[in-house]
Amino acid sequence: MAKLTEEDDALLEALGVESEAKKGSSRTPREERVIAGFEEIQRFVEQHGRTPQHGEDRDIFERLYAVRLDRLRELDGCRTLLEPLDHQGLLAAESPAAAVKSADDLDDDELLAQLGVDVASPGDITELRHVRSTAEIRAAEEIADRERCEDFDRFEPLFELAERELKAGARQTRPFGKDASIDEGNLFILGGQLVYVAEVGETIKAPNGENDARLRVIYSNGTESNLLRRSLQRALYKDEAGRRVTDPNAGPLFSETWEDDDVESGTIYVLRSKSNHPFVSEHRELIHKIGVTGGKIETRIANAANDATYLLAEVEVVASYKLAGINRTKLENLFHRVFAPAQLDLTINDRFGHPVRPREWFLVPLHVIDEAVQRIRDGSITQVIYHPETASLIEG
């Protein structure tokens, strides 16, 4: 198998492929980084049903994945490494004829624009402002070694939900600095990746006498690191594109101001699957799909047996709630945030044999969903989150 060169590695790292090798792996660290970056693209395709595309109308994550995929297709070492893992045929696919220029044809400013990096001024083209120097890379490695996150399945839904909420406007990004606090549950963008602070250890005294703490930090490419709070703060300060991701803001669910995605009369519906999948059969009374529609529920679910979104099976409506003046996007995002800890992690094959992971199914009792709807009506829903161990809504 062809090995990746140092030059290939530097290019891929600049595109945000930064996973470290798993201990004991037969692959080199560079090969592990390439695989981790490719798996992020595969997850995008599974979620959206298409390859990532270029263009100013696309969000920063999709544009980053599109440039990364172009480079992976062009590098022989990458193709050889990834072809056994490419069950979606991404490496064989070619960009449409009308697509933007390939990465080799882009000048520096165009390539940075595709990566979502604003060029403040023409400047000296030899000044690599957004590529880390060897000294910076060494300093980052001294802070903490990244390793594969063994329980990433716990955090992956959170990253996917955060991306959806950023696209829908339920979350915002703010330059890091005005608020330099870092607490458990915070989300940031660092080095082009989403970063989640999963745990904050006990307060310790730094050599300079200031308080510090050891963090468990999870990255959206499936890796994690154990670093000090002040180290993460310094990294966010140094990264010109470093951002804090704000908490979800449900906004007005019921208001007098109408938007394009509002409906005068809407319905929250709760579905139960009739799938004969072993896991679904065993937990049928707990597995529910929650959605919002401005039309008839019957029309929405008419083709359920042929739609992977509905687990390729007929469904039954077990509850529905009529509401008026609903912002559907905000309401669905709110439901997904509340019940994210109980999101169903199930992969099925669609009609073409391609693996699909439906995202709107949750392991939640029906009476808890009913309580969530009541909290939507009284406005207290933004104060709670679902706790799987007690099967209840708790302050969060």
Q: What is the pLDDT of residues 111-152, one digit of tens each?
A: 444 444 444 444 443 444 444 444 444 444 434 468 888 889
The answer to whether the CB of 288 falls within 8 A of the CB of 364 is yes
**Residue 65 included in any domain:** yes
- The burial of 229, by beta-carbon neighbours within 10 Å (0-12 exposed, 13-18 middle, 19 or more buried), is given as buried
Residue ending a domain, among 211, 245, 279, is 245
Residue 10 lies in a domain: yes
Are 91 and 188 in the same domain? no
Q: Are residues 272 and 391 in the same domain?
A: yes
261 φ, ψ (degrees, to nearest 5): -100, 10
Examine the domain organization and report whether 33 and 121 are in the same domain: yes
Which one, of 227, 165, 161, lies nearest residue 190 by Cα? 227
Among residues 68, 97, 131, which one ends one of the domains? Answer: 131
Q: Is the pLDDT of residue 323 over 50?
A: yes
Is residue 285 very low, low, confident or very high in pLDDT (cuts 50, 70, 90)? very high
Could you say which DSSP state residue 186 is in?
A: -
The mean pLDDT value for 59-81 works out to: 84
The CATH number linked to 156 is 2.30.30.30
> Of 99, 131, 163, which residue constitutes the final position of a domain?
131
Is residue 82 assigned to a domain? yes
Model confidence band, residue 382 (pLDDT cutoffs 50, 70, 90) = confident
Does residue 137 form part of some domain? no
Which whole-number Å values give the CA distances from 366 to 81, 290, 291, 342, 360, in the listed order?
A: 46, 10, 14, 13, 15
Buried-state track 169-184, b at ≥16 Cβ within 10 A, e below 16:
ebbebeebeeeeebee
118 or 159, higher pLDDT: 159
Residue 251 lies in a domain: no
Beta strands, E only, the chain: 147-148, 173-175, 187-190, 193-205, 211-219, 223-228, 243-245, 262-273, 287-293, 315-327, 348-349, 355-356, 361-363, 384-387, 392-395
Is residue 164 in a domain?
A: yes
Asked if 263 and 294 touch (Cβ cutoff 8 Å), the reply is yes
* Terminal CA-CA length for the chain: 49
Structural domain containing residue 367: 262-395
- Say yes or no: 88 and 194 in one domain: no
Same domain, 112 and 151: no
Residues 304 and 222 in one domain: no
Count of domains in the chain? 3
Shared domain for 61 and 175, answered yes or no, is: no
Highest mean pLDDT among 84-98, 117-131, 204-218: 204-218
- pLDDT higher than threshold 90 for residue 241: no
229 and 283, same domain (yes or no)? no
Among 12-16, 71-75, 174-178, the range with the most confident prediction by mean pLDDT is 71-75
pTM for this prediction: 0.39
For residue 1, is it within any domain? no
Q: Are residues 299 and 379 in the same domain?
A: yes
pLDDT value at 262 more than 50: no
Whether residue 349 is found in the same domain as residue 238 = no
Residues 27 and 113 in one domain: yes
Whether 161 and 269 map to the same domain: the answer is no
| pLDDT level of residue 5 (50, 70, 90 thresholds) | low
